[in-house]
Structure 1
């Protein structure tokens, strides 16, 4: 996906010159509701994974995938590329880098992003297990287990802890109906519920 990366500066230029570009934010509902790039559409990573073929069938315009740091957007890009989409790019550095270069943002709250939550949980587990190992030595193994998990996460560009945390009520928000998002992106009416069920 390295050749399909777009920098925040390039994206700002693209948005101002190409009305057909679509931004798809693959973060959790809570992250999206807390802050997102104006004009972006919300399709969480797990939902996008389930509907990638449907998205490919309907979206022919340029698409830029967005997350907090670029990792989840890269995963989404790989999944869409595997489905045959060639019009997809990933925002380098995600929303974090976008805001650092002064990009516009719609901010509505102060909920922690998923990656920050992972750092809090992983750090807390390591800290508690190291302190507890002063009294019960084998508990130090827990810190090693977390370290191994973080290493695996970096090597595979996946994160099991993030997947688990994304399911918590704190990270839930309005659900995403992919058909409605596709209808908005393509400018076509949403099919009636009976047609969607068929």
Structure 2
């Protein structure tokens, strides 16, 4: 560990990932700088390193299932789950899953949204790691944690590629994580 508390391997991983994430100014609206991860996904080496990193988190945290949040959480979480030998559970926007579901509404900047998970996807005895691309305000992740607990499972943690620290999502999730870690590979 260096004097800054960030190990060389962590810096190398961060640098590799950042070199494959492109800024797109004024998307989806003026003043927003969108973090485009499609170049990262298109590079087999970088995407493989990211997948291995998330799979390692699954193993280190004792996860038995991975939840991916719609939509980029599916892209990142599914290969990590496979690599770790675990099942994958999609958490989707309301109305997208067939069969019995659990739903959770959450607040957006201007209104509300709702996500769903199959009612039998996780349950007692499961330790669930939530994976997504970006932690912004934390609303979607917070709703996912509530769904997981309502299903009777335990939250192993939340892992994200990027955390937008200035939006305070970490603070919003602090109570819901209840000692489970929130790990961001890059904090901006």
Q: Which has the higher strand share?
A: 2
Q: Which has the higher helix share?
A: 1
Check whether TM > 0.5.
Answer: no
TM-score, length of structure 1 as denominator length: 0.32
Larger Rg: 1
TM-score, length of structure 2 as denominator length: 0.33
Of the two structures, which has the highest relative contact order with CA contacts closer than 8 Å and spacing of 6 or more?
1
